[in-house]
Amino acid sequence: MVQILDGKAVAKALREQLTTELAASGLKPTLAVVFDPADDGSRLYVGMKQKAAAKVGIETRDIAVSADATTESVEKIVAKLNQDASVSGILIQAPLPKEVDDAAIFAKVAPEKDVDGLGVTNQGRLFANEAGNYPVAATPKGVMTLLNYYDIDPRGKRAVVVGRSQLFGRPMAALLLNADATVTVAHRYTKEETLNNLLAEADIIVVGVGIPGFIKASQIKEGAVVIDVGMNLVDGKACGDVEAAAADKAGWLTPVPGGVGPMTIATLLESTMEAALEQAK
């Protein structure tokens, strides 16, 4: 029988812990969210973040970027937020309008306000497995929190990460490597036969490619830990990248909705609180 990694419940517990810690600190952090209001997903997620933030005692400031924005115009917005002492954290919600180079914008966020850990400074720290507390991208960090909550230790395990984005795959692979797993990253140029061989041997599979049903039950090892980072809308309903039948073969599985998504949001709030605590020192 598959066991469910209940992201919804673990995220709730994390948010409750943050609420208590924030109240005790007396701080009221502010998270600035830069986003494209023309993107349906972004509007939805920004709304969810705003609601969750308010509940734990974090203020949000949503900054909508216009359709004709350029890399330069968004860089100016970020420069202002970097200077603004009332802003504790800055989230650049990807994707920004098409003329904007998202990675160039991530790189401009001041490292101490880079709560999604997507700038080169914080990604470099992660890649180097630097000791200490620095922000790490919310989705992969949330996956690690979830694994830890269920006492799933990556040490010595074979992990396959499918996807290599700056937002998910790269930091996910680094976190698993830092947790002593043997990590392989598969991506769009990985041959099907190679992927099948990797998946057949994987103890932990983490997939985020944005293709419904991309990972089939037949591809996974009996008892594997399967983490579904996919967030797709099919007939108006959220579904992941792993086909439903995988539940008959996996040992552990994250549902969509109710798995990685809520963990992402709670982790972003955690990182925002930590940034504000650090700035108050």
Q: How far is the CB of 182 from ligand GUE (least distance, A)?
A: 26
Q: Which of 116, 203, 228, 241 is catalytic?
A: 116
Q: How far is the CB of 216 from ligand GUE (least distance, A)?
A: 21
Q: Look at the alpha carbons of 122, 131, 149, 26 in this order and tell me if their dihedral is positive or negative.
A: negative
Q: Which is nearer to ligand GUE, 39 or 84 (CB)?
A: 39
Find out whether 43 is annotated in a ligand binding site. Answer: no
Q: What is the C-alpha separation between 53 and 69, in angstroms, rounded?
A: 27
- At 136 the three-state DSSP class reads coil
β-strands 59-64, 158-162 pairing: unpaired
Q: What is the C-alpha separation between 226 and 229, in angstroms, rounded?
A: 10
Q: Which is nearer to ligand GUE, 142 or 154 (CB)?
A: 142
Contact between 246 and 216 under an 8 Å Cβ cutoff? The reply is yes
Q: How far is the CB of 240 from ligand GUE (least distance, A)?
A: 8
Find out whether 156 is annotated in a ligand binding site. Answer: no
Q: How far is the CB of 187 from ligand GUE (least distance, A)?
A: 18
Q: Is 116 a catalytic residue?
A: yes
Length of the chain in terms of residues written: 281
- Residues 7, 275, 101, CA angle at the centre, nearest 5°? 80
Q: Which is nearer to ligand GUE, 116 or 241 (CB)?
A: 116
- At 225 the three-state DSSP class reads strand
Q: Which residue has its beta carbon closest to ligand GUE?
A: 261
Q: Is 83 a catalytic residue?
A: no
If one counts every other C-beta atom within 10 angstroms of the C-beta of residue 23, the result is 11
Find out whether 163 is annotated in a ligand binding site. Answer: yes
Q: How far is the CB of 276 from ligand GUE (least distance, A)?
A: 18
Give the rounded distance of the alpha carbon of 236 from its chain centre: 22
Terminus-to-terminus CA distance in the chain, angstroms? 48
Q: Is 219 a catalytic residue?
A: no
Nearest to 23 by CA among 31, 15, 12, 11: 15
Contact between 157 and 181 under an 8 Å Cβ cutoff? The reply is yes
Interacting residues toward ligand GUE by CB under 6 A: 41, 45, 48, 91-94, 116, 138-139, 167, 231, 238, 256-258, 261-262, 264-265
Annotated binding-site ranges: 163-165
The residues carrying an active-site annotation are 49, 93, 116
Binding-site positions for NADP(+) read 163-165
